[in-house]
């Protein structure tokens, strides 16, 4: 049973920064890709950023230049550094990991950006 545990959410003002972290219960080398998704009230869950085993990254247009995804292979963690936060970034953020067989999700962490 793979577990993904998010941490680092909370309340921040517009223009502020926040760092989310996701700790996996097994080596992250076993996943083809890891990423962060978010879901705002009344909206569908959307991809925020992803990082593949080789290190290539992908970002949603809305966060390019503001968010950075990174991985620490030694600690089996993936982080999302969020800068210049906007009220529209308010959502529940979910850690995601995928191997050849299935996709795994964390419980989610709330990020609220006040205007």
For the stretch 91-113, pLDDT in tens is: 999 999 999 999 999 999 999 99
Q: pLDDT tens, 39-81? A: 999 999 999 999 999 899 999 999 999 999 999 999 999 999 9
Q: Which of 98, 20, 110 is nearest to 52 (CA)?
A: 98
Question: Which of the 8 DSSP states describes residue 25?
Answer: S
Residue with tokens 């809305």: 62
Question: In this predicted structure, what is the pLDDT of residue 36?
Answer: 98
pLDDT at site 13: 98
Q: How far is CA 99 from the centre of its chain?
A: 17
Sign of the Cα torsion 93, 94, 98, 102 reads negative
Query: Among 6, 39, 34, which residue's Cα sits nearest to residue 99?
Result: 34
């Amino acid at each position: 049973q793979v577990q993904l545990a998010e941490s680092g959410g909370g309340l921040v003002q517009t223009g502020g920064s926040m760092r989310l972290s996701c700790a996996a219960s097994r080596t992250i080398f076993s996943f083809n890709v890891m990423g962060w998704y978010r879901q705002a009230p009344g909206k569908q869950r959307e991809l925020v950023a992803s990082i593949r085993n080789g290190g290539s990254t992908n970002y949603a247009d809305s966060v390019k230049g503001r968010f950075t995804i990174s991985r620490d292979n030694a600690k089996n963690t993936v982080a999302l550094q969020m800068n210049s936060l906007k009220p529209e970034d308010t959502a529940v953020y979910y850690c995601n990991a995928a191997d050849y067989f299935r996709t795994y999700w964390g419980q989610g962490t709330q990020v609220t950006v006040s205007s």
